[in-house]
Structure 1
Amino acid sequence: DVDAIVISHHHVDHIIDLIPYGFALKFAPRQQPVPVDKWPGTDDPARPMLFVPPGAIEFFDRVSDAWGTGNLFDDAFVTSEYDPDGKLEIGPFSITFTEVPHYITTYAMDVTGPSGSRITYGADCCPNPALVELAEGTDLLIAESTLPRPERTGVRGHLTPSEAGEHAKLAGARELVLTHISDELDPDWAVSEASSVYEGPVQVAREGLEIEV
């Protein structure tokens, strides 16, 4: 039931699921041209659209070579690189991008639906005004909250829950969802930290979560 996937950057924790998913799309019995058990076979196997940042296709080719999977991404997905300076149209949705500071080139994205409702995804980033500008007035901000406290040394690349809350506050977001949180962090604590600076609804992302915007 997946029509399209959009990737913010190619750090392994954001793309590794594409490997088993790609194998399933390429080799699952229901994807094959001949009948197998209860699957009738198909001449038109599902190939979701996969939109990746500039330069990522070459990177994915190297990943496929390293895993010995040949043209896995080409066989499993309809892959193309998006223009981060343009607008990406997928069905009734339009997506705009902005680069945010991380350890590699990374793009946050703002998704607008047919009714004008918006979801802004911050990707991985440290505190930055670009995300605030992109998310201004959004209905839902999905912001990473990786760290309990800012990085001790070196270049910053992630947010704390309170920093995620600060971005939601400055952007005037209607609702905030915290994501990219370690299992070692208490989700109730993360919500409390974000709520200390942001007055809107806050919750932690979880499998199966549905939010109406």
Structure 2
Amino acid sequence: MRVTFLGTSGAVPTVERNPSAVLLRREGERLLFDCGEGTQRQMMRYSTGFGISHIFVTHLHADHVLGIPGLLQTLDFNDRTEPLAIHAPQGTRRRLEDLITAAGDRPTYPLRINQVQPGETVLDREDYRVEAFETDHRTTSVGYALVEDDRKGRFDREKAEEELGLPPGPEYSKLHAGEPVEHDGRTIRPEQIVGPPRPGRRVVYTGDTRPTAATVEAATDADLLIHEATFAEDRRDRAGQTGHTTAKQAAELANRAGAKQLVLTHISTRYAGNSDQLEREAREVFEGDHAEVADDGLKLDVPFPSE
């Protein structure tokens, strides 16, 4: 699993930072979270590819959605035929439709707009899901959590061969799948050589928000929490008034959630040239493995918890 930060600026672009967009690639599938102005160019610049299957929109402020029309048109020019789904908060379908068709017709490939509510499973795959959770901004908004299912326990091949005398073969697959097998007149049960289930990964993206209890719940034991940090601590009042979070507040929230890694984004233009203050304030508080302010182009691999 790899996360690429395509845009990390708050409100408007700067020379160094594009508006909000984060691409998550998981085993070949690409998921895009928010799509600020110029996102398609960032996708080319950082070599993520255009093969996205879903766009998850946190809210309809311009810096999170103005890149959608251009990206959809480029996909059309590239003869895309695969369907694409855009997920956005409840009540925003009409505005999204207007945005998409403002400069022309809808794309020729199948396009679906799905309205979501907090607490809803937005995307349900065989081995992971994407859930929406409540955020607190100046408009209807949600955050998203990608949550993988537990993985199978480790198969102890040495024990199977040396202690139980079971040679490699189809029985290994059956045992790993939870089925007992018969060997030399004995029943060998999965729990004899297969360890307990191992947790999958959890990646949480907040979009724009004040600190919320719902975010803490969604990010509990997260392997990666991507939280907005528009302001430094000396602007805490301003952050609250505008529906945003300071770097220190984000770190305190990550601590309550027990997140392992915290990456801050949606950085105000006042810190465009130097975000060291935000990173310092977060690191002074954060108790997890690592905290940093994302720059455009930052790529992070998210390992399994056991690794």
Query: What corresponds to 2:229 in structure 1?
Result: 145
Query: What corresponds to 2:293 in structure 1?
Result: 204
Does residue 199 of structure 2 align to residue 121 of structure 1?
A: no
Q: How many residues are paired up?
A: 197
Q: More strand by proportion, 1 or 2?
A: 2
Kindly provide the CA deviation profile for residues 83-142 of structure 1, in whole angstroms up to 9, marking residues without a partner as x: 433212254431222211110011122111244210111221112222112211111110
Query: What corresponds to 1:40 in structure 2?
Result: none
CA RMSD of aligned residues (A): 2.3
**Structure 1 residues 56-67: aligned runs within 5 Å:** 56-65=92-101, 67=102
- Determine which of 45, 55, 59 is the counterpart of 2:81: 45
2:268 & 2:230 partners in 1: Cα distance? 6
TM-score, length-normalised on structure 2?
0.58
Query: What corresponds to 2:265 in structure 1?
Result: 179
Q: Give, in angstroms, the shift of residue 68 of structure 1.
A: 3.5
Structure 1 residues 166 and 96: alpha-carbon distance in aligned structure 2, compared to 1, 3 A threshold: same
My pick for the range that moved more, 77-86 or 126-135, is 77-86
Contact kept? 1:23, 1:76, Cα under 8 Å: no
Structure 1 residues 175 and 153: alpha-carbon distance in aligned structure 2, compared to 1, 3 A threshold: closer
- Higher RCO (C-alpha under 8 Å, 6+ residues apart): 2
Contact kept? 1:88, 1:95, Cα under 8 Å: yes
Q: Give, in angstroms, the shift of residue 208 of structure 1.
A: 4.4
**Structure 1 residues 27-106: aligned runs within 5 Å:** 28=77, 30-31=78-79, 45-65=81-101, 67-72=102-107, 77-91=111-125, 92-106=127-141
Structure 2: which amino acid aligns with 1:150?
Answer: R
2:122 & 2:242 partners in 1: Cα distance? 29
Note the residue ranges of structure 1 that are not aligned, 5 or more in a row.
32-43
Contact kept? 2:228, 2:264, Cα under 8 Å: yes
- Larger gyration radius, structure 1 or structure 2: 2
My pick for the range that moved more, 111-120 or 99-108, is 111-120
2:60 & 2:109 partners in 1: Cα distance? 19
Q: Give, in angstroms, the shift of residue 171 of structure 1.
A: 0.8
Structure 2: which amino acid aligns with 1:145?
Answer: A
**Sequence identity of aligned pairs in percent?**
27
1:153 & 1:190 partners in 2: Cα distance? 13
Contact kept? 1:22, 1:77, Cα under 8 Å: no
Partner-residue secondary structure (3-state), 2:114: strand
Structure 1: which amino acid aligns with 2:63?
Answer: D
Note the residue ranges of structure 2 that are not aligned, 5 or more in a row.
1-50, 152-199
